[in-house]
Structure 1
């Protein structure tokens, strides 16, 4: 098949490019040309910029692809430009959205049929935590209107894995590894009974291939296994954990927001850590063992020489302050 990827040089998009190429499809990427990336041999590179509307997509003129996978559409005007330019030129439009489109993220379980945030009505606004979800809602609507019966919307949960330049999913595998090398204990927020749920970027990519190959329409949450933090840190082989609740952290001038990926189970967005992916699993989503995801993420982050989001100095400062205040609880060493 001939596949067009809008984006494709970083993290999620790059894994999607690699997944299509790995099974023999002919892949073309359209990017602004700002990120240098070693893509698989044979991948065609086009340059364009949706922010310049249809004029920025001249490289697509007169071409046809079996499917388009839109990884880089964040603002409505961008998706409006690409859907207009590609109408009649692609057989299926796959849009990578987000679970942040849901209006009631405090639900016990987040499902595809849940209410959405109001669609963003403006043009050209900056993507912020406040506008991100509403903008994606508007983008989804544009795709569905332009490709009725031939659209697929993927709503990934927090994405993890090799290539995560945000450094969110790299932190805990790296911190556990340092602890195994003698740099412990590991400071962790909460009491171990909050939840973490992510999706391996490679699983997300292979699912994108599957829906294109199978001509699968619809809207799908894409999420991985749900674990307690205690189980997750044990899975990482963390030898000793010092837990600290929200009040304890606040007392020493810290907040749970300093800890990557973590959300308290009482948070208004706690449903993000219980995203139902039943529909995607039934449609062919296959999940990698979280231990494998963590090991591969650690290996990549070490090769990339990434610095941790929570610095060792800051963590040591907090551990010292908690000890001085008589706060924090250490878990027994794991075998």
Structure 2
């Protein structure tokens, strides 16, 4: 939030060499297509950004998330001109990610059986292992870097089909993918991102953020197989009641219901 940045800056200004702000690719405005760091950012439509609260953001369905992050970037630059490093990550994944927004897939694929796969196998996806993001950010600070950088991955374009296949191979799973069209999923009220994690559906432009600038500064990515295995191992270490309550994706019952409807529709 802009007020958080301002409050921190009032204490830190004159006492630090650099201010690092972890932003988000959600700052990008329309059109959300292949954005690089120069793309337009979301416009804040509220009355006073300094009075915004996390609670208000949550109650509003996070509609102000992107605009307020964009304003927070500018707040940081205002207080630390020429000394600000702004990182815009995509979906951050890996062990200890309590949102389950990537974890759903290793867990579901490890369960085997028929897996509902959304849209088309070629629909692009982007994400970054938190460990890769953290290590690279530290190196950027150590090297005295400033400026704005998209930070997501992988290095080459990846479709959700490739992502699911790599997870399946990493886990030695016998899962079978059934691809269900976006239109049918919409009819069934199955939403991109929340119900089908990582997948953005028609908003696929956000899954094609350009990362050349960050890669030129040494951003690298561990194998997806490593992220998948480590994430599943972490999840399996959690208490059983937590494992039974995934925070993203479809419940087994809902997945079976949608798959049955799909097969009936195709018959």
Q: Could you tell me the TM-score, scaled by structure 1's length?
A: 0.69
Which residue of 2 is the match for residue 322 of structure 1? 262
Which residue of 2 is the match for residue 241 of structure 1? 177
The alignment's C-alpha RMSD in Å is 1.8
Shift of 1:301: 1.3
> Which blocks of at least 5 consecutive residues in structure 1 are unaligned?
1-74, 328-335
Asked if structure 2 preserves the Cα contact closer than 8 Å seen for 1:104 and 1:114, the reply is no
In the comparison of the two structures, how many residue pairs are matched?
A: 245
Q: Which has the higher strand share?
A: 1
Call closer, same or farther: CA 1:247–1:154 in 2, change over 3 Å.
same
Call closer, same or farther: CA 1:322–1:82 in 2, change over 3 Å.
same
Using the TM superposition, name which of 170-179 and 300-309 deviates more: 300-309
Shift of 1:153: 0.2
Which residue of 1 is the match for residue 251 of structure 2? 311
Shift of 1:251: 4.3
Which residue of 1 is the match for residue 160 of structure 2? 229
> Which blocks of at least 5 consecutive residues in structure 2 are unaligned?
none
- Indicate the structure whose relative CO is greater, using CA pairs within 8 Å and at least 6 residues apart: 2
Q: Could you tell me the TM-score, scaled by structure 2's length?
A: 0.86
Shift of 1:150: 1.3
Q: CA separation in 2, counterparts of 1:153 and 1:196?
A: 22
Asked if structure 2 preserves the Cα contact closer than 8 Å seen for 1:252 and 1:322, the reply is no
Shift of 1:323: 2.4
Q: Does 1:122 align with 2:26?
A: no
Call closer, same or farther: CA 1:255–1:154 in 2, change over 3 Å.
closer
Q: CA separation in 2, counterparts of 1:102 and 1:77?
A: 21
Q: CA separation in 2, counterparts of 1:249 and 1:277?
A: 30
Shift of 1:117: 1.5
